[in-house]
Amino acid sequence: MQKVYLDNAATTQVRDEVISRMQEALAQYYGNPSSTHSFGRSAKTAVEQARKTIAKTLNAQASEIIFTSGGTEADNMILRCSVRDLGVETIITSKIEHHAVLHTVEELEKEYGINVWYVNLDEWGNPDLDHLETLLKKDDSKKLVSLMHVNNEIGNITDIAAVGELCKENNALFHSDTVQSIGHYPWDVQAVNIDFMTAAAHKFHGPKGIGFAFIRKNSGLKPLIVGGAQERGFRAGTEPFHNIVGLEEAFIKAYEHLEEETKTVRELKEYFVDKVLKEVPGAVCNGLSGDLDKSTYTLVNVRLPFDKQKSLMLLFHLDMKGIACSKGSACQSGSDQGSHVLSEILSGEELEKPSLRFSFSMYNTKEELDYAVEVLREFANS
């Protein structure tokens, strides 16, 4: 049976170079990075080099990069500590953020009694920047805006620069979940007014269980996890050295090959969108996910013209045919609830139809896409 992996927004295949680097780390550099002997110093040196590598590419300072277990921890840490340590009284976000943000904000509302305001979305799922400005000027409470750069389900790209300027003009903090963005787009944190960002290695061909937070220097945030002096005292716990060097290797390769791999993946998305809309009559792209200029080149969210009964078998059928894709975020795949993102932009009738997210990487081929579309076409006609 042919195997076709089209769920790269959930996680990506680890690069061979990353695996080799991690194997070397596990076999040879097994000292605790916090130990003062030579074994520990060797590991510590590599951890700090990884920090510098990331910082240089983002045009940040090394002290502004904090390693975490991934994007979810980083989002939680930034949002919670902003309320606890910086006196944030109001968080402005949107209803189509990742649940790492939405659920954290809901908990903070219960625990601290903060205000949570949701910016309006247009019909495509983009935040209304005029409404955002209205919310920022609504009162004098200390505010933090949390809007993701690239939506993980429909791929919309938020105008981060414009949001940052609005925050600056209104003396608000700005946090962005950039998990679907880091490793796929160039970044310069000095060119954008942003206080906090988050990343996860497994979204750009690195290992799972490691990511980082960008926290602007002198932010005032204090540790969420205590118990040791690791990460300059900001995050206690023995550093997962092998994961950190794996993250660094994936990060280096992502930006070394960014232009060519962006071109390759963009062409794959364009090919898939054209083919699926032709071969499966009635198929449409949700949000702006079919627009190569207004959505990320890495994914498309397709609504298919199947009735409810037939829809129940769709993902199972694709899986049996060796095709991996998803109906939304992998983080909520265990839930039988529909996509909270699509619920904000589709009508009740449209939500009755099945929607699937197909996401691509440089490891995919046009032949694989041909096979996936053919399986969908056959299912439509069965």
User: What's residue 331's pLDDT?
Assistant: 54
Q: Which of 81, 285, 325, 331 is catalytic?
A: 331
83-109 CB burial, b ≥16 within 10 A, e <16: beebebbbbbbbebbbbbbbebbeebe
User: What's residue 309's pLDDT?
Assistant: 84
| Residues 168-185 pLDDT 10s | 999 999 999 999 999 999
Inter-residue contact 353 to 311 (CB < 8 Å): yes
User: What's residue 329's pLDDT?
Assistant: 55
Give how far Cα 78 sits from Cα of 131, 173, 222, Å.
Answer: 24, 11, 10
| Residues 110-147 pLDDT 10s | 999 999 999 999 999 999 999 999 999 999 999 999 99
pLDDT over 60 (residue 87): yes
User: What's residue 326's pLDDT?
Assistant: 93
**Which residues lie below 8 Å from residue 335, measured CB to CB, with a gap of 6+?**
none
User: What's residue 328's pLDDT?
Assistant: 65
pLDDT over 80 (residue 332): no
CATH 3.90.1150.10 range(s) for the chain read 4-13+258-381
User: What's residue 334's pLDDT?
Assistant: 47
pLDDT over 50 (residue 48): yes
Per-residue pLDDT, averaged over 251-272, amounts to 98
pLDDT over 90 (residue 327): no
CA pair distance 199, 205, nearest whole angstrom: 12
CA pair distance 157, 101, nearest whole angstrom: 17
User: Is 331 considered catalytic here?
Assistant: yes
Inter-residue contact 25 to 259 (CB < 8 Å): no
CA pair distance 317, 325, nearest whole angstrom: 11
Inter-residue contact 119 to 148 (CB < 8 Å): no
Rounded to the nearest integer, the mean pLDDT of the chain is: 95
Q: What percent of the chain has pLDDT over 70?
A: 97
Which tokens is 46 given?
């590599």
User: What's residue 94's pLDDT?
Assistant: 98
- The CATH number that domain 4-13+258-381 falls under is 3.90.1150.10
CATH 3.40.640.10 range(s) for the chain read 16-256
For the domain made up of 16-256, the CATH class stated in words is alpha beta
pLDDT over 90 (residue 308): no
